[in-house]
Amino acid sequence: MKKIIIISTVAVFAAMVSVTLYFGLTTKSFEGSVSEVDNDQVLVDCPIVKLARNVDDIGYMCKVQTTASTMILNINGEKVSMADIERGNSVEVVLAKRSFLTENSSRDVRAEKITVLNE
């Protein structure tokens, strides 16, 4: 009986650590500056998870894909189009799914919503 309690406690602890790491190391949204705008994608500087102390503090780019269902809004919440996003704009990107953005990952993500924070 004591063995079962210990195993159960370890399993619950492992599950809690896994959930904490998942939500602590993944992101659902970020803000950044637009470097490039293409037909259906924008290149935005994005935060990365630093798994080591000696990772350089340089800017990393995320290739943010848009789809027909991606909402693109201005700071007032009004719908705008990709044509309204310009290089240098600050944007908030809400991702379609949580992503683990690291130095070595592809950093290709799909946007659920992009909000242009300046005009």
Q: How confident is the model at residue 100 (pLDDT cuts 50, 70, 90)?
A: confident
Residue 109's pLDDT is what?
93
DSSP category for residue 102: B
* 29/26: higher pLDDT: 29
Q: Is the pLDDT of residue 26 over 90?
A: no
* 57/7: higher pLDDT: 7
Q: Is the pLDDT of residue 7 over 70?
A: no
* 88/7: higher pLDDT: 88
DSSP category for residue 54: T
Q: What is 62-90 written as a DSSP string? A: EEEE--TT-EEE-TTS-B--GGG--TT-E
Q: How confident is the model at residue 88 (pLDDT cuts 50, 70, 90)?
A: very high
Percent of the chain scoring above 70 in pLDDT: 67
What's the residue count for the chain?
Answer: 119
Domains and CATH numbers, the chain: 27-116 (2.40.50.140)
